[in-house]
């Protein structure tokens, strides 16, 4: 087996391992919580703009 084939196999196995780690079911709640970060930041920015209009 050549080094190129060995490196390809190692990187392919690393890719599969990372993919399985990212998509494991126990991480679903964490990803759902993280998905609202942009929306929460936008909501806070909108509130601060409207709060400034009251003065």
Provide the CA 33 distance to its chain's centre, in angstroms: 10
Please give the full DSSP string across the chain, using - where no structure is assigned.
--HHHHHHHHHHHHHHHHHHHHT-GGGHHHHHHHTTHHHHHHHHHHHHHHHHHT-
pLDDT for position 8: 96
Summarised one tens digit per residue, pLDDT across range 1-55 is: 789 999 999 999 999 999 999 999 998 898 888 888 877 777 777 776 666 555 5
C-alpha distances in Å from residue 2, one per residue of 7, 20, 43, 46: 9, 27, 55, 58
Domain that holds residue 28: 3-53
**pTM of the predicted model over 0.75:** no
How many Å apart are CA 25 and CA 21, to the nearest integer? 9
Give the chain's domain count: 1
């Amino acid at each position: 087996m050549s080094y190129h084939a060995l490196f390809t196999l190692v990187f392919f196995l690393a890719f599969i391992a990372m993919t399985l780690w990212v998509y494991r079911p126990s991480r679903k709640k964490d990803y759902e919580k993280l998905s609202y970060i942009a929306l929460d930041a936008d909501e806070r920015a909108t509130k601060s703009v409207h709060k400034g209009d009251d003065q």
